[in-house]
Structure 1
């Protein structure tokens, strides 16, 4: 196969490309330039896709003996991922930019361009597994190394794009194994630190980035009774479940910490309350992407499901309360705390991804008198 290997400049994508070459594919490397902001182009970048990373990607391609190109996708990245990030926060929701990058850039723009150029598939360094069924269709599964599993942020891609994707690191036992393999192959990125934080927020200050882009919008922080307990410079800078950085002038009557319960952009208001008020056991979501036709039709099913609402969150046992082509609702068997609109919700059957959708709301069913239940943060 002709394979386009996405080289981020990190160790994972370099080893993935090396494995694709070793498998006998005709591989070409490409680095995606996603920003024209010079502040991001610096030594020790906290995110990915900096000018430093482009150089590391080129050196990896040289070691592997494959052609290498840099594609400027910065305009598309700004129009989709960054614009969505700003719009979601402005609307009082909590987006996951890595999910949107996979949706709009890596498995839309990049893959579509690759197919137009005659490539058969795109190869990336994501930790996830693709399983081919007997009928030729494809399933997305968690990686062997659950600590590095990235199926959560990949689920948005959908089955058609999955069929054109290769994840050579899905069966790797650990990140240490990847680093050892990189060193053995002579790849200089073998000891390069992992990227973290939001790649387009150069200094890691998300609130500062939002303030610079959206402007200061002073407003009130109120408790559930409507009493003003503090002020803020922009409701968009807060997210449901947040505890730190509230700077409230009035303590809670019981002295316990306060958390953000809701962000109300229309009134430019942040509502705070107790941790107990964050607990939910039903989650509703839209913009569904399905890998299971039976689940999408709402057909009854046997067997346990689980859901995940954060990239590094633990899966929680759940049942599909409603499902159609566009929407889904889940009933959680174990309540969660601090589920925010805008988060990605992924449904699993064991290690297999059943579907993905974007959270619109969450609620708690009133507990019978005298009952008690544990929650996960």
Structure 2
């Protein structure tokens, strides 16, 4: 096959591209330039998609012996990831920019362009597996090494996209093995640290970055009864489950700490309460997709596991699709309450090791009533 290898400049994508060549594919490497202002992205070991990452990717491509290009996706990245991040915070939700980048950039914009140019598939260094069932349907599954599994951030992939995805690292037992292989191949990125944090917030100050773009207007902090117990300098800077930085003027009756339970951007208020009030009996979203074949009758409740963060444990749950005024909604009810989950986050549904689908959480139901 003729495949396009997305090369981030890290060790995983470099080894994935090399393995694709050894598997007999015709491979072309490409690095995505996501900012026209390099200073707006992280640099060094904390970076992702920076100029130095591009140079690391080119050195790896030269060693592998494949053509290498840099594609400018900065405008698409700004619209689909950065602007979306701001809009979600303005709406009182907590977005996952890496999830949106995978959905909108790496497996939408990139894949679309690759197919238009005659490529059969896109290769990435994600730790996940695509399995073909007896009827020829493609399914997304967890990687062999659960500690490094990245199937959660790929839960946004659709059946059509899975038909054009290759993940050569899916059966690799450990990241250490990938680093060792990279060293043997002579890749300079063999010991390069993994990237982390939000790449487009250079200094890691999310609150300050948002204040510059969303604005910071003083508002009130309420308890669950609606009583004013403090003031804040901008609701958009808070996240669900936050404890520090609340500066409450009224102590709790029981003396226990309080946490952010709700953010109301329309009236610029923040609601706080006890930790147990963060427990959720239900999460749901109308923005959902299936990673491969959908359940035969998704309106019938089915057993599954739900994962709400990239590195959290999957929790047993029951899910179904219900018709609502807003349209079909994927409703997920964990058997044990989820804690500290916000609207805007992604809930990925698994059946065994298979990623069945995902939804962006639009609605939550607390396991603890407000008057409890």
Same fold (TM over 0.5): yes
1:267-320: per-residue Cα shift (whole Å, max 9, x none)? 101110000111111111121101364527325476x41001111111100011
Shift of 1:54: 0.6
Moved segments of 4+, more than 6 Å: none
Which runs of 5 or more structure 1 residues have no equivalent in the other structure?
368-377
Q: CA deviation at 1:362?
A: 1.3
Residues 323 and 295 of structure 1: CA distance in aligned 2, closer, same or farther (over 3 Å): farther
Taking a change above 3 Å as real, the CA distance of residues 228 and 357 of structure 1, as seen in their structure-2 partners, is same
Q: Indicate the SS of the match to 1:156.
A: coil
Kindly state the Cα deviation for residue 326 of structure 1 after the two structures are TM-superposed: 4.2
Q: Contact 1:223 / 1:272 at 8 angstroms: preserved in 2?
A: yes
Corresponding residue for residue 82 of structure 2: 82
Q: Distance in 2 between matches of 1:321 and 1:281?
A: 14
Note if 1:7 corresponds to 2:7: yes
For 2:310, the equivalent position in structure 1 comes to: 311
Q: Is it true that 1:290 corresponds to 2:290 in the alignment?
A: yes
Helix, strand or coil for the counterpart of 2:196?
coil
Q: What is the distance in 2 between the residues matched to 1:138 and 1:123?
A: 16
TM-score, normalised with respect to structure 2: 0.94
SS at the partner of 2:283? Answer: strand
Change (3 A) 1:97 1:182: same
Rate the CA distance shift 1:198–1:247 in 2: closer, same or farther, 3 A.
Answer: same
Q: 1:328 aligns with which of 298, 317, 330?
A: 330
Aligned pair 1:275/2:253, yes or no? Answer: no
Q: Which residue of 1 aligns with 2:202?
A: 202
Aligned to 2:255: 255
Q: Which moved more, 1:51-60 or 1:251-260?
A: 251-260
Unaligned runs of 5+ in 2: none
In structure 2, how many angstroms separate the alpha carbons of the residues matched to 1:300 and 1:257?
41
Q: Once superposed, what is the RMSD of the aligned Cα atoms?
A: 1.8
Aligned to 2:64: 64
Greater Cα offset, 198-207 or 316-325: 316-325
What are the equivalent positions in structure 2 for 1:80-119 lying under 5 Å apart? 80-119=80-119
How many correspondences in the alignment?
Answer: 366
Q: Secondary structure at the match of 1:63?
A: helix
Rounded to whole Å, the distance in 2 between the matches of 1:132 and 1:323 is 29
Comparing 64-73 and 226-235, the one that deviates more: 226-235
2: CA distance, partners of 1:252 / 1:296: 49
**How far does residue 338 in structure 1 lie from its aligned partner after superposition?**
1.3
Change (3 A) 1:268 1:276: same
SS, match of residue 334 in structure 1? coil
Counterpart CA distance in 2 for 1:348 and 1:361 is 20
| Whole-angstrom CA distance in 2 between matches of 1:246 and 1:42 | 28
